Amino acid sequence: MNYKIGDPVMHWTYGFGKIVGLEERDLFGKTTLYYAVKLHDLTIWVPADEKLNDRLRPPTPAADFKALFKILTSPGDPLPEDRHERKLHLVERLKDGRAESMCRVLRDLLSFQQIKSLNENDQYYLKRVQASLLGEWGFSFSIPPTQAATDLNSLLNPHLSAD
Protein backbone atom coordinates (compact mmCIF):
# COMPACT_ATOMS: atom_id res chain seq x y z
CA MET A 1 0.00 0.00 0.00
CA ASN A 2 1.23 3.50 -0.77
CA TYR A 3 0.76 6.01 2.00
CA LYS A 4 0.91 9.80 1.74
CA ILE A 5 1.94 12.41 4.25
CA GLY A 6 -0.99 12.99 6.60
CA ASP A 7 -2.44 9.48 6.25
CA PRO A 8 -3.50 7.85 9.54
CA VAL A 9 -2.00 4.41 10.12
CA MET A 10 -1.83 1.66 12.70
CA HIS A 11 1.65 0.32 13.44
CA TRP A 12 1.59 -3.34 14.47
CA THR A 13 3.60 -2.64 17.64
CA TYR A 14 3.22 1.04 18.51
CA GLY A 15 -0.41 1.69 17.57
CA PHE A 16 -2.06 4.70 15.99
CA GLY A 17 -0.02 7.34 14.20
CA LYS A 18 0.21 9.53 11.12
CA ILE A 19 2.59 9.57 8.21
CA VAL A 20 4.65 12.75 8.60
CA GLY A 21 7.37 12.16 6.02
CA LEU A 22 8.80 10.04 3.24
CA GLU A 23 12.49 9.58 2.68
CA GLU A 24 14.68 7.35 0.58
CA ARG A 25 17.59 5.97 2.57
CA ASP A 26 20.60 4.02 1.42
CA LEU A 27 21.34 1.14 3.75
CA PHE A 28 24.01 -1.44 2.92
CA GLY A 29 24.01 -0.31 -0.71
CA LYS A 30 20.26 -0.69 -1.13
CA THR A 31 17.98 2.34 -1.47
CA THR A 32 14.61 1.95 0.23
CA LEU A 33 11.72 4.32 0.78
CA TYR A 34 10.88 4.87 4.45
CA TYR A 35 7.73 6.30 5.99
CA ALA A 36 8.16 8.55 9.02
CA VAL A 37 5.29 7.73 11.37
CA LYS A 38 4.53 10.07 14.28
CA LEU A 39 3.10 8.22 17.27
CA HIS A 40 2.39 10.46 20.26
CA ASP A 41 5.85 11.82 21.14
CA LEU A 42 7.76 9.25 19.07
CA THR A 43 8.65 9.18 15.38
CA ILE A 44 9.63 5.87 13.83
CA TRP A 45 10.89 5.07 10.35
CA VAL A 46 9.13 2.17 8.62
CA PRO A 47 10.64 0.69 5.45
CA ALA A 48 8.32 0.45 2.45
CA ASP A 49 9.43 -3.10 1.64
CA GLU A 50 7.69 -6.45 1.18
CA LYS A 51 6.83 -6.49 4.91
CA LEU A 52 5.13 -3.08 4.93
CA ASN A 53 1.63 -4.56 5.14
CA ASP A 54 2.72 -6.54 8.21
CA ARG A 55 3.96 -3.34 9.87
CA LEU A 56 1.38 -0.72 8.89
CA ARG A 57 -2.29 -0.80 8.07
CA PRO A 58 -5.09 1.74 7.72
CA PRO A 59 -7.19 2.27 10.87
CA THR A 60 -10.29 0.13 11.19
CA PRO A 61 -13.41 1.98 9.95
CA ALA A 62 -16.05 2.75 12.61
CA ALA A 63 -18.58 0.30 11.11
CA ASP A 64 -16.04 -2.55 11.26
CA PHE A 65 -14.95 -1.49 14.74
CA LYS A 66 -18.52 -1.81 16.01
CA ALA A 67 -18.48 -5.47 14.97
CA LEU A 68 -15.54 -5.99 17.35
CA PHE A 69 -17.58 -4.90 20.37
CA LYS A 70 -19.04 -8.43 20.51
CA ILE A 71 -15.53 -9.80 21.11
CA LEU A 72 -14.94 -7.36 23.98
CA THR A 73 -18.19 -8.32 25.71
CA SER A 74 -17.83 -12.08 25.24
CA PRO A 75 -16.19 -14.43 27.75
CA GLY A 76 -12.44 -14.66 27.46
CA ASP A 77 -10.62 -17.62 25.99
CA PRO A 78 -8.32 -19.39 28.45
CA LEU A 79 -4.66 -18.43 28.39
CA PRO A 80 -1.79 -20.80 29.19
CA GLU A 81 -0.95 -20.93 32.90
CA ASP A 82 2.80 -21.10 32.19
CA ARG A 83 4.11 -17.54 31.81
CA HIS A 84 6.49 -18.44 28.96
CA GLU A 85 3.79 -20.24 27.01
CA ARG A 86 1.42 -17.33 27.67
CA LYS A 87 3.96 -14.81 26.37
CA LEU A 88 4.50 -16.85 23.18
CA HIS A 89 0.74 -17.17 22.79
CA LEU A 90 0.20 -13.40 23.14
CA VAL A 91 3.02 -12.57 20.73
CA GLU A 92 1.60 -14.98 18.17
CA ARG A 93 -1.91 -13.56 18.53
CA LEU A 94 -0.71 -9.97 18.13
CA LYS A 95 1.54 -10.68 15.15
CA ASP A 96 -1.04 -9.65 12.56
CA GLY A 97 -1.62 -6.24 14.20
CA ARG A 98 -5.37 -6.35 13.53
CA ALA A 99 -7.89 -4.65 15.81
CA GLU A 100 -9.73 -7.97 16.15
CA SER A 101 -6.60 -9.63 17.54
CA MET A 102 -6.02 -6.77 19.97
CA CYS A 103 -9.63 -7.00 21.21
CA ARG A 104 -9.25 -10.74 21.82
CA VAL A 105 -5.96 -10.33 23.67
CA LEU A 106 -7.34 -7.50 25.83
CA ARG A 107 -10.45 -9.50 26.71
CA ASP A 108 -8.46 -12.67 27.41
CA LEU A 109 -5.90 -10.91 29.62
CA LEU A 110 -8.64 -9.22 31.63
CA SER A 111 -10.44 -12.55 32.06
CA PHE A 112 -7.18 -14.24 33.07
CA GLN A 113 -6.61 -11.47 35.62
CA GLN A 114 -9.83 -12.51 37.36
CA ILE A 115 -8.28 -15.85 38.30
CA LYS A 116 -4.57 -15.08 38.54
CA SER A 117 -2.42 -11.97 38.95
CA LEU A 118 -0.82 -10.68 35.78
CA ASN A 119 2.96 -10.80 35.67
CA GLU A 120 5.05 -7.91 34.37
CA ASN A 121 4.96 -9.19 30.80
CA ASP A 122 1.17 -9.68 30.88
CA GLN A 123 0.76 -6.15 32.21
CA TYR A 124 3.00 -4.80 29.44
CA TYR A 125 0.85 -6.45 26.75
CA LEU A 126 -2.35 -5.34 28.46
CA LYS A 127 -1.20 -1.69 28.49
CA ARG A 128 0.21 -1.84 24.97
CA VAL A 129 -2.92 -3.38 23.48
CA GLN A 130 -5.23 -1.05 25.39
CA ALA A 131 -3.27 2.03 24.27
CA SER A 132 -3.28 0.87 20.64
CA LEU A 133 -6.99 0.14 20.71
CA LEU A 134 -7.81 3.48 22.31
CA GLY A 135 -5.82 5.39 19.69
CA GLU A 136 -7.53 3.57 16.85
CA TRP A 137 -10.94 3.75 18.54
CA GLY A 138 -10.66 7.51 19.05
CA PHE A 139 -9.66 8.07 15.44
CA SER A 140 -12.27 5.72 13.96
CA PHE A 141 -15.13 7.30 15.90
CA SER A 142 -13.72 10.86 15.89
CA ILE A 143 -13.87 11.08 19.68
CA PRO A 144 -11.34 12.23 22.28
CA PRO A 145 -9.20 9.61 24.02
CA THR A 146 -11.08 10.05 27.32
CA GLN A 147 -14.38 9.19 25.63
CA ALA A 148 -12.80 6.19 23.90
CA ALA A 149 -11.51 4.97 27.28
CA THR A 150 -14.95 5.43 28.88
CA ASP A 151 -16.62 3.52 26.03
CA LEU A 152 -14.06 0.72 26.16
CA ASN A 153 -14.34 0.34 29.92
CA SER A 154 -18.13 0.13 29.71
CA LEU A 155 -17.84 -2.73 27.21
CA LEU A 156 -15.22 -4.47 29.32
CA ASN A 157 -17.17 -4.03 32.56
CA PRO A 158 -17.89 -7.77 33.04
CA HIS A 159 -14.15 -8.49 32.73
CA LEU A 160 -13.27 -5.69 35.19
CA SER A 161 -15.79 -6.65 37.88
CA ALA A 162 -13.19 -7.85 40.40
CA ASP A 163 -11.05 -4.70 40.06
CATH number for position 15? 2.40.10
For the chain, the average pLDDT equals 92
Output the pLDDT for position 26. 87
Output the pLDDT for position 27. 81
In a domain, 3, yes or no: no
Residues 102 and 122 in one domain: yes
* Other CB atoms within 10 A of residue 88 CB: 12
Last residue within a domain, chosen from 57, 80, 98: 57
The domain tally of the chain equals 2
Torsion, Cα 44 138 52 120, to 10 degrees, reads 70
Classify 161 as helix, strand or coil.
coil
In a domain, 154, yes or no: yes
Domain boundaries, position 47: 8-57
Residues 128 and 84 in one domain: yes
| pTM of structure | 0.87
